[in-house]
Amino acid sequence: MKSFNEHAFSRRQFVKLGGGSAVALVFAGCASGGSSTGSDSSASDSSSSATSIKPGFITLHDENSTYDLNFINAAKEACQEQDISEDTYMLKTNVPQFCHSTGTKAHTEGLDNYHNAFASIYEGRYLAGVAAGMKLNEMIDSGKITADQAKMGYVGAYTYAEVISGYTSFYLGAKSVCPSVTMEVTFTGSWYDETAEKEGATKLINDGASSFPSTQTPWVPLPPVKMPAFPTSPTTEARRMHAPTPRFNWVPYYKFAIRAVMDGSTIDTDWTGTLSTGSVELTDLNSYVAADGTQDKLDEVNSKLEDGSLHVFDTSTFTVKGAKLDSYKADVDTDANYTPDTEVVSDGYFHESEYRSAPYFDVQIDGIELLDTAF
């Protein structure tokens, strides 16, 4: 299983340099590949277009600090030697705090100016699953499918904790109202690949899935099928087949962080937004596709999640290889070997995003079949 940071680098490159987090180097639009011998390779330099990347440098202080000046001058010189103009790279000085949305590293770095933030998006996916389960019940009641044909599909990016947490919570939400449901999951190996996502959706449809979400692109062209689907295309017909989808709302966190700096108060090393903080939202229920009573059920479940009387990963609601999960050590500290280090099951549920903000639920539960695990 790959770590968060391996997959994050496929979307952006982040390198923290210098003692005490003095400077951060961020690349946008770069593709990693090949290897480096450490020598100055003009062939390598010429093979990468200077206009294809946008380096960004973030320093703790400005040029008045001789320590930071060394980083600043090096950044400018390196860009000049790579023919990267001043209007292409970005340099931001006097940035004393670094907040990494969806990050994990601050948890173990021990730096007072480095922070992770995430949201309990698994609660939103659970709610979306409830809506899907309600639809399956409607299809069963109308005779369109039988109870043992209640099968969903899920298109995921990678087989790592955030995605596993997402598809499992969606499944458990559906199972809470439609006990006979099963689910198949396929992976694309990419955070953004519309072709692979469409192929994955088609595979699931052909295998009998009655509804499915995607953790990736929100506007994926789908085959012409009559079923509730979570990825959508911009067409009116597709929108009519679109079920509610969870999303992050980062406004509450950014307001919190900004206010903390203004007030001189502490920013949490790991901050987890919830339904209650407004950090997890669900798109409006689609009247074209939702089963009767779905909104009332969603309101009921939402209230229980908010007041803590319901937990998404309640261990009485699922099994692992036929047995109840009474104990589990998760890789919360995310070392290179993904070594389990923290007991996360107690009080009858798996405590997701409580010991750090980023998800660490990586349990394969019964009722979910992975069609491929290459990623």
In a domain, residue 170? The reply is yes
pLDDT of 131 reads 93
pLDDT of 201 reads 86
The number of distinct structural domains making up the chain is: 2
pLDDT of 211 reads 61
Q: Is the domain of 125 the same as that of 206?
A: yes
Residues lower than pLDDT 50 in the chain: 1-21, 30-39, 41-47, 216-235
The parent domain of residue 308 ranges over 121-247+292-370
H or E element at residue 270? strand 270-273
pLDDT of 326 reads 97
Tell me the CATH number at 315: 3.40.50.2300
Q: Is the domain of 240 the same as that of 149?
A: yes
Q: Is the domain of 86 the same as that of 129?
A: no
Measured CA to CA, the distance from residue 99 to residue 105 in angstroms comes to 11
Measured CA to CA, the distance from residue 76 to residue 80 in angstroms comes to 6
Q: Is the domain of 68 the same as that of 164?
A: no
Q: How many helices (H) and strands (E) does the chain have?
A: 10, 16
Q: Is the domain of 205 the same as that of 324?
A: yes
Q: Is the domain of 143 the same as that of 86?
A: no
Q: Which tokens go with 45?
A: 């330099």
Q: Which residues are within 8 A (CB) of 333 and not within 5 positions of it... i.e. 6 or more apart?
A: 107, 108, 339, 341, 342
Q: Is the domain of 151 the same as that of 228?
A: yes
CB 214 within 8 A of CB 101: no
Q: Is the domain of 146 the same as that of 23?
A: no
CB 197 within 8 A of CB 188: yes
CB 159 within 8 A of CB 190: no
Q: Is the domain of 35 the same as that of 161?
A: no
Among 80, 96, 112, where does a domain finish? 96
Q: Is the domain of 130 the same as that of 192?
A: yes
In a domain, residue 257? The reply is no
User: Is the CA virtual torsion 229, 230, 233, 236 positive or negative?
Assistant: positive
CB 86 within 8 A of CB 57: no
CB neighbour burial string for 204-237, b if at least 16 within 10 angstroms, e if fewer: bbeeebbbbbbbbbeebbbeeeebbbbbbbeeee
Please tell me the number of Cα atoms within 13 Å of 217 on its side-chain side.
20
CB 188 within 8 A of CB 140: no
CA 140 to chain centre: 32
Please tell me the number of Cα atoms within 13 Å of 321 on its side-chain side.
2
Q: Is the domain of 22 the same as that of 65?
A: yes
Please tell me the number of Cα atoms within 13 Å of 259 on its side-chain side.
7
Runs of H (alpha helix) within the chain: 4-8, 42-47, 66-81, 106-109, 121-141, 161-175, 194-206, 236-240, 251-263, 294-307
Task: Return phi, psi of residue 7, to 5°.
Answer: -80, -30
In a domain, residue 180? The reply is yes
